[in-house]
Amino acid sequence: MSQRTLVLLKPDAVRRGLVGEIIGRIESKAGWTLRALELRDLDRATLEQHYAEHEGRPFYEPLMEFMASGPSVALVVEGERVIEGVRALAGPTDPIAAAPGSIRGDFGTIVRENLIHASDSEESAERELKIFFPDFS
């Protein structure tokens, strides 16, 4: 079943010049297509909407500061089982636990700055796509 998902290449991926490498890995998956791509600075209101479920947790403010520290790349990726697939390609949040060959396993350094966000379910993808690409149809 074809799906759409939100992918964010976080400020550390942009700063470290890994955008092309990460997008290349996404594009190399047969049947996955980039439907939208935008480099943008994320404002506080957008970040609050996106990370609302984490508000009040100890990592919330450092996460907000990190995500606002520089530009991110927002992508819409479409394809068969793309939600599950991009999350597998990204690897676990902890780069030490992430397998070699995954984005975080190959390039991750610390848990907080973990290069990539990918929607974790169809419901999350729908909600997140509306935040980042409200006019996308």
Q: Residue 101: is its pLDDT beyond 70?
A: yes
- Span 2-132 CATH architecture: 2-Layer Sandwich (3.30)
pLDDT band at 58 (very low <50, low <70, confident <90, very high): very high
Helix (H) or strand (E) holding 8: strand 2-9
Do the Cβ atoms of 86 and 120 come closer than 8 Å? Answer: no
Question: Are 118 and 7 a contacting pair, CB within 8 Å?
Answer: yes
pLDDT at residue 118 greater than cutoff 90: yes
Q: Identify the pLDDT of residue 137.
A: 59
What's residue 46's pLDDT? 97
Percentage of residues in the chain having pLDDT higher than 70: 99
**Residues with catalytic annotation?**
117
Place of tokens 């990918």: 118
Cβ 4 vs Cβ 35: under 8 Å: yes
Whether the model clears a pTM of 0.75, i.e. scores above it, the answer is: yes
| Per-domain residue ranges of the chain | 2-132
d(CA 116, CA 71): 13
Return the pLDDT at 30.
85
